Every structure is written in structure tokens, then in C-alpha cells.
Structure 1
């Protein structure tokens, strides 16, 4: 799974170039991939997409017809971010450069008078102070910043990882940390606690979704994969599915909760750096690298 922020088609292309193989978009699952399943609910509603990369483009590719990135949404409200003048970076909103000033003015009025029905945190927030401020404005006013308190719009997170390993030696704060910060602040300024839905590991839903995707891909996969027919439903079931991850609290815990047929492999390539297995979330196997994990799988499945 990638960390998100770009469409599955772009991820498939990038991974294909790196690995030297053809990868289909349908073979890529990201934290925000389940947002596809909410299209029928919010297809024509005004929704805001938060995160690095191209969050609005991701949602548009899923079928959302009225989605704005939080960069563009913020640009329609003067002074909504009081710290903007002190920020040394600039963020270019995802606005059609061919639009005339008159069209832009109409768009601004439309956004300022239309209630946001849902906010989707697609990937890691780039500007926590602005995004928490604007999300609090949206969520506590019923979707229209500057108005009185109203019913909270829906809020969805692509994942709930507290930390993740990047190039810096120590773990970095992830979307779960952003969610905690937003929730803590919102609950201090609003009488009703923040309501939200988090997708992503360790939610067993993610593992079930991956299994379903693999089952749907079976016609295009090699016929000698380790599968067998279910006796009562005729649905092809996997004997073993492997989860390779470096975060015991997220990856391994999720595989444990998902249960059969998941086999968890913990690597020492990221969050986990211990000598032995994790003390709380025990993996089925612990190895040094992803390559070691793949070698184990190939030996086990090929019988060598």
C-alpha cells in the first residue's frame, strides 16, 4: 500500500516503472481507495479533500463531481487563515487557469454560500495549523464557515497511523496524529464531540477489501496460484495471504484481527527495529528486509 495522495493509476504507472513490470490501477490499494465506495452518497455534493499530493484529483477520478482541495477552498475565504501572511511558502490552488475573473467571482460566491457535506482527509496534511482551523470552521458550522453552529458534516480519514518511518532516523507523525490534534481542539471549542470514520490499517475492513480485490483479479492472474474452491459458495478462497509490514501496531495488529487466511511478516525496515518479535502484536514471522520476506514466501509456496 502506498501512502496516498495520488490516484491509483498514477501509482500503478510509477510502481511499474520502478519494478519494470506492468501494473494495473486495479492492482493498487491505497488508504483512500475505500473512498470510491462513498461516491453514490456524495457524488454531486460539495466536498473538501485534504492532504499532500493531488487529493482533489484523486477524488475526481473516483467520480466526485463537486470536490475542492482544501487549498482551493481556503482561497475563497478572505483571512480564514490568519497566519497566511507569515508563511514563507505559497500553495497554488487547483483552479482552472483558463477561468475568467467573472467566472472566478461566481465560483467564489457559490462556494461561500454552499454547505460542505463532507471532508475527506486523503493524505497527510501539509499545513496543520491552516487545515485544523478550516476544518473546525467547516465542521462546527454545518459546512459553511463564518456561520452559526450547525450539524457537523461527515468527516473521513484515509488511515489512522500515529507514526510512520520516513528517511529521518526517528518516526514521523502521521495522519492519526493529525486526527488526534483536530479532535482535541474541536472537542474543546464545540459541545458535541467530533464524529469521524477512519479507514486504513489496522481496520479489518482493509484486509477484507484487499482479499476481495485479489479475488476479482483472479481471472487475470496465473492459474497456479495457491487457491481452492469454496465447497459451499463456489467463491474462490485463498489458502494464504501475506501481510508484509514494519509497524506492529498497524500492520501486524490488522492482520491478526483479520484472521485466516492472513499470515503476518514483520520487517525491521521502518517503525519496528527490535531484535525479536514484538512483545504485544506477535507476527507470524520476523525478518530483516522486504526482500527476505519475499524470499520466504517464494520458498514456501514453491516448495523449495
Structure 2
């Protein structure tokens, strides 16, 4: 998991809660959870399973620092998921990570964790961007973050038709960033010709960007910062132009972002995340904070209008709850169980500032209680006081599942 920016009110002045809550969920292939017990070394045993007896609660798991640490399974994680899977207890994976398409990520996770997963119970940071395709399908967007142009490929699979990257731009116009030679070999391997040339002398026929999406942690902060800044200062999103409204005190926000500049979207506010290094490393939230600093210096502190999703923001939890309810209805209904109200979701995470804060603050429109469970295998340092207090602190995800089952009066026993 990752650690969020400490002052989200400053860094997230807008949300897309309404956008994400009013449109239908994306469709993807689904298969029922009807396999025989998956692990011969399960740490749980239970009596016969009656699906409707379990229909009142479910789980949401973070991935990094909860299930995996630097791509390797955390001890107990495969057993915990296998138990839930084998006993038809609904769960989703809810992560601020990303950079790959959901289909590739669930295939990778299924192999590592030993439990079949599906896109239907998986939400990563940029998954909700699928619901923005309708308004931007035929527009030109810029996508940044991730390795090579993998995030471009994800955006195209979502349905965006015209997608460019900062690499495309610098290869077409090297002068846009004077230190272009440093990453030139890297960009050559993953760039495409621009759909329209960059020509500031002829704005009507120059490259116009309608929205900027930060899908994943940018690899070249300097280039991405420069190009995003250029677009935020542009006239109508035409790269290489500058709006005459910038700095006009007679206009709202002193004229900044008042002249058709592209919308700016971030998928993840996490400042830090857990890696194989013994100290947490900067994440997408670090890039956002860096861009904010450059924007403040450029505009003398004008507000930076952008939309930020990902944990702990309510829009992400609303989206995740809809995904979970749909998945749960399909799973339990497919087993002949009565699908009643979802009363409780146990959010298991390692990050007090994203996982725990988000679960604590979220107010479900359906009355579902989100209970926060903090594990010690990731960002959170044992012995420190969490910035946001969880319902309980446990050693790892296996212990978290045991605790939750006990809370729900589960009749099985741990071995």
C-alpha cells in the first residue's frame, strides 16, 4: 500500500464522485467461484457452507504491503484468500497501484497468490477512468505514468481512441525539453507519431490535448512536469501556446485555468508506498506534490484545479462498493444463495492514511459498515501511532481474516 498526501484538502479540491456513481459498471467476463478446496494446507476448517449465511459481510484487500511485498506473496496471504475463495465469502482487491490492464494484473496475481481472480473483483487506481470514456472517446488525451506506453495501451483498452504520451511529444519536438537526450533510447522504444503536429504559429492545426490522465507513477518527473505545466498554461489545450488570461486579477483564480485548458486527473494520492527497500518510497502523490510546488511558484499560489481519485477518497470507495455488490450478487446468486443486504465490509490495509482513513470516513449510501483493519506488513511501522485509528491492528492478513470471521460469529475454527 501507499501513504497518502497528508493534506488531501489542499491537493484534491475536486472529486468525481458524481461522475463515477451515476454511470453503469464496466462489463467483463465472469466465472463462478465453485472450485474444490484450493490449498491442502489451509489454516482454517469449517462446517458445511450455506451461501446465504455468509451474504451479510465481505472483504476488501489492499495489495502492496498486505498480500504482496515487492511482487512476492506475504506469508499467510495465499492461505487467507484460499479460505475465502473456497467458502464463497465475497472479497475484492482494492489497490492504489496500477500501470497494467486489469486482465493482465489479475492473471499475474492469480498465479502469485494461487487463487483464481477475475476483473469482477478487482479495482486498481485507474479502473474508474473507464467511466470517463463517454465524454472523451473521440477527444485527444495525454496519458502519463507506468513503463513505456503500457498505460496508453490500458487507456485504449478502456475505449479512449486518441491517446498520446509525453514520449510521443518529446520525440516529435525534442526542443520542448532541453535534456531530451537522457531518455531518448527509452522513449524511442514506445512512441508513436503524433496525430497532429506541434506548431504554435498555427494553433488551429496544432496538437490539442483535451484531458491529462496520470495513470500511474511517472518515470520521468521532469519531462512530465514540463509538458503538464505547458498544457495548464496554454490556450484551449494547444501545446506551445499561452493563454492571455493567465494572471488576470479580474478573472476567477486570477485567470489561471480559465481558458479551455485540459482537465487534469490523478489516479492515486499516495505520497509513499512499500517496496523491497526498508523505507517507504515516493509514489504518485510525490509527483503530484512536486507539480503543485512548480504550479505555486509559477502562478504565485493560484489554485490548481484537478481531480484526484484513489484511496482514501470517497469516489473510489463508492465505486468499489458497487463493484463488490455486483460481484457478490453474481457469486452468491450463482450458488443458489439468498443475496441480502451487505451489512459489513472489512477493509484490510497497511496504510493508515489511505486504507484506514478511507474506510473510516466512507459513508455508504446503502448503510454498509466499512470496518478498518490495519496490518503490520507494509507502510505502517509497528510501535508507532497510526495517523488514523483502525478498528484493530493485527500482524498480517491471515490474522485479519481470522479476526473478522470471529467478529461475524464464524462457526469454523482456526488450526
Q: Which category describes the TM-score, using the shorter chain as reference length? A: 0.7 to 0.9
RMSD, aligned α-carbons: 2.5
* CA–CA distance in structure 2, aligned partners of residues 220 and 107 of structure 1: 42
Q: 2:291 is matched with which residue: 182, 200, 204?
A: 182
> In 1, distance between residues paired with 2:114 and 2:303?
48
Which of 121, 126, 131 is equivalent to 1:32? 126
Matches within 5 A, 1:9-88: 9-53=103-147, 54-87=150-183
Q: How does 1:262-273 map to 2 (within 5 A)?
A: 262-273=370-381
SS in 2 for 1:147: coil
**Is structure 2 residue 339 aligned with structure 1 residue 243?**
no
Helix, strand or coil at the partner of 1:237: coil
- Give the match's secondary structure for 2:356: helix
Which digits, 9 at most, give the CA deviation of each residue in 1:147-190, with x for residues without a partner? 12253210000010111111111111111111111122123223
Q: Which residue does the alignment assign to 1:214?
A: 324
Cα distance in 2 for partners of 1:90, 1:303 equals 56
Task: After superposing the two structures, state which structure 1 stretch, 242-251 or 287-296, moved more.
Answer: 287-296
Structure 1 spans left out of the alignment, 5+ residues: 97-103, 230-235
Q: Residue 193 of structure 1 aligns to a residue in which SS?
A: coil
- Deviation track 1:6-59 (CA, whole Å, cap 9, x = no partner) reads 111111111111223322212210111111111111111100111013111111
SS in structure 2 of the partner of residue 163 of structure 1: strand
Question: Residue 199 of structure 1 is aligned with which of 309, 331, 350?
Answer: 309
Distance (Å, rounded) in 2 between the aligned partners of 1:276 and 1:186: 34
5+ unaligned residues in a row in structure 2: which ranges?
1-93, 200-204, 244-258
1:272 deviation in Å? 0.7
Is residue 2:116 matched to residue 1:7?
no
Corresponding residue for 1:252?
356
1:233 equivalent in structure 2 = none
Aligned to 1:171: 280
Match of 2:401 in 1: 294
Q: What do the CA deviations read for 1:71-98 (whole angstroms, capped 9, x no partner)?
A: 22332222212112245862335346xx
TM-score (norm 1): 0.86
**CA shift in 2, pair 1:44/1:273, >3 Å:** same
Pair 1:283-2:390 in alignment: yes
Deviation, 1:132, is: 0.5
Shift of 1:221: 1.4
| C-alpha displacement of 1:228 | 8.0
Equivalent pair of 2:166/2:223 in contact (CA under 8 Å) = no
Closer/same/farther in 2, CA of residues 188 and 246 from structure 1, 3 Å limit: same
Asked whether the 8 Å contact 1:47–1:120 carries over to 2, the reply is yes
1:157 aligned residue: 266
Instruction: Decide which moves more: 121-130 or 141-150.
Output: 141-150
Query: Which protein has greater RCO, CA pairs closer than 8 Å, 6+ apart?
Result: 2
CA distance in structure 1 between the partners assigned to 2:154 and 2:163 by the alignment: 10
TM-score normalised by L of structure 2: 0.64
* Secondary structure in 2 matching 1:216: helix
For residue 113 of structure 1, what is the aligned residue in structure 2?
206
Other-structure match for 1:232: none
Instruction: Tell me the matched-pair count.
Output: 288
Q: What is the Cα deviation at residue 201 of structure 1?
A: 0.8
